[in-house]
Amino acid sequence: MKNIIVGQSGGPTAVINSSLFGVIREGLNHTEEIGHVYGMINGIQGFLQDRYLDLGELPSGTLNALRITPGAYLGSCRYKLPDDLGDEVYPLLFEKLKALKVGYFFYIGGNDSMDTVSKLSRFAAKAKSTIRFIGIPKTIDNDLILTDHTPGFGSAAKYVAASVAEIGLDASVYEAKSVTIVEIMGRHAGWLAASSVLARKYEGDNPVLIYLPEVPFDQEAFLSQVQESLKQRPNLVVCVSEGIHDKEGRFICEYSGEAGTDTFGHKMLTGCGKYLENLVKERLGVKVRSVELNVCQRCSTFAQSLTDAREASMAGSFGVEAALKGETGKMVSFVRASGPNYGISCSLVDVNEVCNQEKTVPLGWITKEGTDVGQEFIDYALPLIQGNPALPMKNGLPDYAYRK
């Protein structure tokens, strides 16, 4: 009888613990094939320091609470395994796995984590180890290839859409002309910024302008677009991805450092939202503010998408089943059912093909002026934000799972 070990890696999301829940529950269900379900504390990095715990010993309340708890219950790391599979860390790691009688290794994470799964599975093949390695995807950025979408994106998209809708209501209470610039996560891919379109309740509603990193940003064009839009409605909400850049590839947020210094004499780097706020104030003289949605995008329980949480858990379960069937070196991927009704089934893809690739918003889904996304995006994203979780509450807040 072999054991499972599972780890979390990279930035946290609202549902990365739902995938952990899926792995644990599925693992514990297979009492004839699986002994223990271990969790690495702080991913590979912590495991190399022998930090792990037995997840079978979690109280059922904690296990259930994982489904609504953001962050990463096991802790995370940003540890990159050496490219050289001859490095001494590999035999060391496999010794530790062997000592724990691990037969199945699951890593929940994004691009870099899939790189880890790729390397470990390739080393296993070389070393003739029978340990199976499966990647469970997660990233709010939705930038993994070979999967319809990634767990974590739906909840972040829902947070963005709800917040932009509410900021739009908040911004429209006064009569005076105003511009509100909302800066949304996504350095290289605009999936999250594009999700702000889901806040639009009718044609012409906010957000009126949406800028993604997929299209080069031109600040003069931006200023005319803002000015033009202010003729249509007095209160403008403009959504920008943090990663917008000009046609030379220079990030707009880097513009702020040109002449700016902070109190300590350092280059003052603000986000692109703050930069554009100052630009609009300077050039258009209109009332303007910027809002950086910040980390709340990836960790809001109230705005969690039930669809996302369920799919995240399903990805974890499916990974365990796949490993038990003998699969290794694979990432769990989502396949969308064709036809009008939304449905997702799990499949497996070669993890070597996934890692170090990046999926961006198709240019055909972005309008010609580069200031909006079309119906294709809405059809794609809308099913992913459906459903609210039933939240176990304690002291007025969701009853989160946590390690002290």
The CA distances from residue 392 to 66, 162, 402, in Å, are: 11, 22, 14
State the nearest-atom distance from the C-beta of 136 to a copy of itself, in Å: 16
State the nearest-atom distance from the C-beta of 335 to a copy of itself, in Å: 21
State how far Cα 185 lies from the chain centre: 9
290 vs 333, beta carbon nearer a copy of itself: 290
State the nearest-atom distance from the C-beta of 236 to a copy of itself, in Å: 15
12 vs 135, beta carbon nearer a copy of itself: 12
Element (H, E) at 47: helix 43-47
State the nearest-atom distance from the C-beta of 347 to a copy of itself, in Å: 25
Structure tokens at 394: 């304690």
Told to judge if 379 belongs to the known catalytic residues of this protein, a careful annotator would answer no
- Reduced to 3 states (helix: H, G, I; strand: E, B; else coil), residue 137 is strand
Q: Please name the residue that has the structure tokens 């009008």.
A: 340
286 vs 296, beta carbon nearer a copy of itself: 296
At position 167, the amino acid (one-letter code) is: I
Phi/psi of residue 35, each to 5°?
A: -85, -85
Element (H, E) at 7: strand 2-8
**Rounded Cα gap, residues 394 and 400, in angstroms:** 9
**Rounded Cα gap, residues 311 and 136, in angstroms:** 11
CB 372 within 8 A of CB 199: no
175 vs 248, beta carbon nearer a copy of itself: 175
CB atoms within 10 A of CB 187: 15
265 vs 339, beta carbon nearer a copy of itself: 265
State the nearest-atom distance from the C-beta of 132 to a copy of itself, in Å: 26
Q: Which residues of 115-143 are buried (b: 16+ CB within 10 A; e: fewer)?
A: bbbbbbbbbbeeeebebbbbbbbbbbbbb
3-state SS record for 232-277: HCCEEEEEEECCCECCCCCEHHHHCCCCCECCCCCECCCCHHHHHH
State the nearest-atom distance from the C-beta of 384 to a copy of itself, in Å: 8
**Active-site pick, 112, 115, 141, 308:** 141
Q: Report the binding-site residues.
A: 11, 111, 139-141, 185-187, 242
Q: Report the binding-site residues for diphosphate.
A: 11
99 vs 173, beta carbon nearer a copy of itself: 173
**Rounded Cα gap, residues 385 and 392, in angstroms:** 20
Give the residue numbers annotated as catalytic, written as ranges.
141
